[in-house]
Structure 1
Amino acid sequence: MTVDFANPESVRAWLAGVLESFSCQTGTLHRADGEWLDLVVQIGVPDFLLPKIARIPFGKGIAGVAAERREPVELCNLQENLGGVARPDARETKVSGSLAVPVLSADGALVLGTLGIGMQVPHDFTEEEKSRLSGIAADIGKTWSGS
Structure 2
Amino acid sequence: MHARRESLEPWLRSFIAESGGIAGTVHLVEGDALALAAAVNIPEKVQEVTRVVPRGKGMAGLAWERGQPVQTCNLQTDSSGDVRPGARAVAAQAAVAL
Name the CA distance, whole Å, in 1 between partners of 2:65 and 2:46.
Answer: 22
TM-score, scaled to structure 1: 0.62
Aligned residues: 98
Instruction: State the AA in 2 paired with 1:89.
Output: G
> 1:5 touches 1:11 (CA, 8 Å); kept in 2?
no
1:14 alignment partner in structure 2: 11
Aligned-pair distance for 1:43?
A: 0.4
Q: 2:72 matched to 1:80?
A: no
Name 2:95's counterpart in structure 1. Answer: 98
Query: For residue 26 of structure 1, what is the aligned residue in structure 2?
Result: 23
Assess, with a 3 A threshold, how the Cα gap between structure 1 residues 38 and 9 changes in structure 2: closer, same or farther.
closer
Q: Which amino acid aligns with 1:94?
A: A
- Point out where structure 2 has 5 or more consecutive residues left out of the alignment: none
Does residue 49 (structure 1) correspond to residue 54 (structure 2)? The answer is no
Q: Give the structure with higher Rg (CA).
A: 1
Query: Following TM superposition, where does structure 1 have runs of at least 4 consecutive aligned residues deviating by more than 6 angstroms?
Result: none
Q: Which residue of 1 aligns with 2:35?
A: 38
- Displacement of 1:51 in angstroms is 1.0
Cα-Cα RMSD: 1.7
Q: CA deviation at 1:24?
A: 0.5
TM-score by length of 2: 0.90
Structure 1 unaligned blocks of 5 or more: 102-147
Counterparts of 2:5 and 2:70, CA distance in 1: 26
